[in-house]
Amino acid sequence: MAIGAALLPFLVLRLVYRPHDGPSRAIADVLVIAGGLALAVVAFSPLMGLKAYPIFVSFGLAVLFGYTLLWPPTVIERIARLYDPELPDAARPYLIKVTAAWISFFLVNAGLSAWTAASGSLELWTLYNGLISYLLMGVLFTGEFIVRQFVRHRHGETP
Summarize pLDDT for 108-145 with one digit per residue, the tens: 999 999 999 999 899 999 999 999 999 999 999 999 99
> Is 159 part of a structural domain of the chain?
no
Residue 137's alpha-carbon distances to 37, 77, 101, 140, in angstroms, are: 25, 19, 11, 5
Q: Does the pLDDT at position 159 exceed 50?
A: no
pLDDT for residue 14: 56
Q: How confident is the model at residue 3 (pLDDT cuts 50, 70, 90)?
A: low
Q: Is residue 59 part of a domain?
A: yes
pLDDT exceeds 80 at position 73: yes
Assigned domain for 44 exists: yes
- Amino acid found at 77: E
**CA nearest neighbour of 55 among 131, 117, 123:** 117
* Number of domains the chain contains: 1
* Percentage of the chain lying above the pLDDT 70 cut: 76
Provide the residue range defining the domain that includes 71. 2-154
Angle between helices 133-154 and 92-118 (to 10 degrees): 170
Secondary structure letter of residue 1 according to DSSP = -
90-121 as b/e, with b when 16 or more CB fall inside 10 Å?
Answer: ebeebbbebbebbbebbbebbebbbebbeeee
Higher pLDDT among residues 28 and 154, named by residue? 154
pTM (2 decimals)?
A: 0.77
Rounded to whole angstroms, the Cα distance separating 113 from 134 reads 12
- Cα separation, 83 vs 85, in Å, equals 6
| Mean pLDDT confidence for 64-82 | 91
Peptide bond preceding 73 in cis form (omega within 30 of 0): yes
